[in-house]
Structure 1
Amino acid sequence: MNEATGPGPEDVAAAVLEHPAVLRLHGGPFGSIASYLPGRRVWGVRLGDPVEIAVVVSLGTPFGEIADGIAARVRAVLADDAVAVEVTVADVGGVDAAPGRAVAP
């Protein structure tokens, strides 16, 4: 987190990846969900109004519950209970999927 500007996309990405059903971040449809930072991208997170998140999740938990949990984590990191958060489940993975990696579409 940058003290002058507050939490950024990397902070949001870390919180989303801590969700137990999230296997990894994803670039979303056509790679459209990403934050561009100097020399790098954070796939799967776009801050704005609304905040957009795209993830690959494991099966077993209803998608609505996963989306609600992710939105709550994003709001906690941003310290804004009113921010709109749109969550896209871009794919599902099995138990063999490697957690914690962000991938382009």
Structure 2
Amino acid sequence: MNGSAPIDLGKTAETVADAALSVEGVAALHGGEFGEVGTYLPGKRLTGVVIDETGCNVHISVAYPANVVTVAQQVRDAVAKVIDVPITVTVGDVSHPDDQGAPLIEERN
């Protein structure tokens, strides 16, 4: 993408995903509000990473109580080590271990 040799988009997307997930405080890759963020690979879909001619977008969920800004910057730094294009990191959610199975809206009487 930097004008030299063509890249293997699938392998690069997986490498970007691995780099993002290696950052402490990243709970998961995030598919966007409607699940629209992802890269289609042979036989599977890689959620949370999109690479195109304009750059690389990585969408993540941050694990509470990690600092969202710090985690996003660390993801950007980690991904920059594996791909030489503009990188945008979007935090789509903050997850808490106690949220597993919790209702989305709290009902009050």
Aligned equivalents of 1:65, 1:43: Cα separation in 2: 22
RMSD: 2.1
d(CA) in 2 for partners of 1:21, 1:55: 10
Note if contact 1:23-1:97 (Cα within 8 Å) is conserved in structure 2: no
Q: Which runs of 5+ in 2 are unaligned?
A: 1-5, 101-109
Q: Give the total of aligned pairs.
A: 92
Under a length normalisation based on structure 2, what TM-score does the superposition of the two structures give? Answer: 0.73
Structure whose CA Rg is larger: 2
Higher mean C-alpha displacement, 44-53 vs 15-24: 44-53
TM-score (norm 1): 0.75
- Bigger relative CO (Cα 8 Å, ≥ 6 apart): 1
Q: Structure 1: any 5+ residue segments left out of the alignment?
A: 99-105
Could you tell me whether the CA contact under 8 Å between 1:15 and 1:74 is conserved in 2? yes
2:16 maps to 12
Report the alpha carbon displacement of residue 91 of structure 1 after superposing the two structures with TM: 1.1
Percent identity at matched positions? 34
Query: Per-residue CA shift, 1:29-55, capped at 9, x if unaligned?
Result: 222210111111100001122311111
